[in-house]
Amino acid sequence: MNPVALIPAGEARVELRSKNSRFIGSAGPAPSVEAARAFLARLRAEFPDASHHVYAFAVGVGASVTHGMSDDGEPSGTAGRPVLAVVQGSGLGDVMVVVTRYFGGTKLGTGGLVKAYGSTAKAVLEVLPVVEKVERIGARLVVPYELHARVRLLIGEAEAEVETEEFGAAVALRLRLRRDRAEDLDLAVRELSAGRVRLEYPA
């Protein structure tokens, strides 16, 4: 998996109209399927008289993503699928998009629905703030006392977080660090210690 992926940094909302129907696009973080359901429930409560709450989500990032969608009563393939296609095309992870429709009295037809739902999803994702999600891993270092201060500096430079430090015959450190920085940190501590210290990855 790519160690860096984009996820929502907050929420966004847009509104589009098509033949008197209102389409309200809402998007936000969904780090789990439960979070996606909670986001949907919040919108159903906010717009209780809406005709439809169509949604699509992508939970996870990279290769391990769970997708979900619903037409919520619209003709099959005209609503949830175009919203999901936009979500997948965006490359975002941990994201939920809900398109709330207020029917305006004029039927849009299959093509009109696909266009309206897809356009609303695209518009809300264009204004959604995003941030990098960085994959972090656990690692362990056993460091002689004479190298402790210098290794701590290297850990800081690698933007790693020290979770625990145990002082015994040597100093044992448990770290959380970015997967994409692990190799550089390992090389740096091995160089500093002439090969005596290296990153260990817990099983």
pLDDT greater at residue 63 or residue 9: 9
* 121 in the same domain as 87: yes
Examine the fold and report which residue of 132, 162, 182 is the final residue of a domain before the chain moves on.
132
Domain assignment of residue 22, given as a range = 4-132
- Backbone conformation region of residue 36, classed left if phi is above 0, alpha if psi is from -120 to 50, else beta: alpha
Mean pLDDT over 179-196 rounds to 89
Q: Residue 113: what residue type?
A: L
What's the CATH number where 38 sits?
Answer: 3.30.230.30
Q: What is the pLDDT of residue 1?
A: 41
* 157 in the same domain as 70: no
Domain assignment present for residue 156? The answer is yes
Domain count, the chain: 2
pTM of the full structure: 0.68
Q: What is the pLDDT of residue 39?
A: 95
* 163 in the same domain as 122: no
* 68 in the same domain as 46: yes
Tell me the pLDDT band of 2, cut-offs 50, 70 and 90: very low
The 3-state DSSP class for residue 201 equals coil
Q: Residue for token digits 């409560």? A: 45
Q: What is the pLDDT of residue 95?
A: 95
